[in-house]
Every structure is written in structure tokens, then in C-alpha cells.
Amino acid sequence: MEDIIAVAVLGFFATVITALVTFGPVGRAVAERLRGKGASGVLADIEERFDDQAQQINDVHRQLGDLAERQDFNERLLAQAKERGLLAAPGPGPTGR
């Protein structure tokens, strides 16, 4: 008699847990995945992250171009100052050599 009650209680709890998993968020996610909707959401997420990374790369590329222009400008200024004799020869360093 006790075995029958134990099996009945175990069956009841197994049924409740199965129903909660099946009809809960986990069950819905599994169902969407089986229908193919889950894969498109993952692909959309990957595509969004790819677009963000591409935008960041474009921003870095633009900043690198700006830095190259600034470096060219500074090199031209130094060359002009050197031609005009405005730059002094390097003197002794802080150690006095």
C-alpha cells in the first residue's frame, strides 16, 4: 500500500514538473527553436553585433586618418622651421654630457 502511495505522489510531482517546464519559458524556447524562430533571433543578434563592430572599425579608421593628417602637418611645420633656422641644435641633456 505504501508503495502505491509513493508511486502516486512521485507521478503527481513528475507530472507537475513536466507541465511547468513544458508550458513555461523553457518549453516556449524549445518550441520556438523547433519551429525555427529561435535561429533567426540568434542571427539577428549576430548581425547587429557585426554592424556595431563594423561601425567601430570605421570610426577607428577615420581617427587614424585624422592622426596621419596631423602628423603630416607637424612634419611640414618642423621642416619649415628647420629651413628658416628657427630650431636650435640640441644641447647637452639633463646629465650634462
Q: Are residues 1 and 29 in the same domain?
A: yes
Identify the domain containing residue 46 by its residue range: 39-83
* pLDDT tens-digit map of 34-64: 776 656 677 778 888 999 999 999 999 999 9
Q: pTM score, two decimals? A: 0.46
- Following DSSP, what letter does each residue of 1-26 receive, concatenated? -HHHHHHHHHHHHHHHHHHHHHHSHH
pLDDT of residue 40: 67
Q: Are residues 2 and 20 in the same domain?
A: yes
Q: In sequence order, what are the residues at sequence separation of 6 or more whose Cβ sits closer than 8 angstroms to the Cβ of residue 27? A: 21
Number of domains in the chain: 2
Q: Are residues 49 and 71 in the same domain?
A: yes
Distance CA 86, CA 7 (A): 99
* pLDDT tens-digit map of 55-92: 999 999 999 999 999 999 999 999 998 888 887 766 67
Q: Are residues 52 and 19 in the same domain?
A: no
pLDDT of residue 24: 79
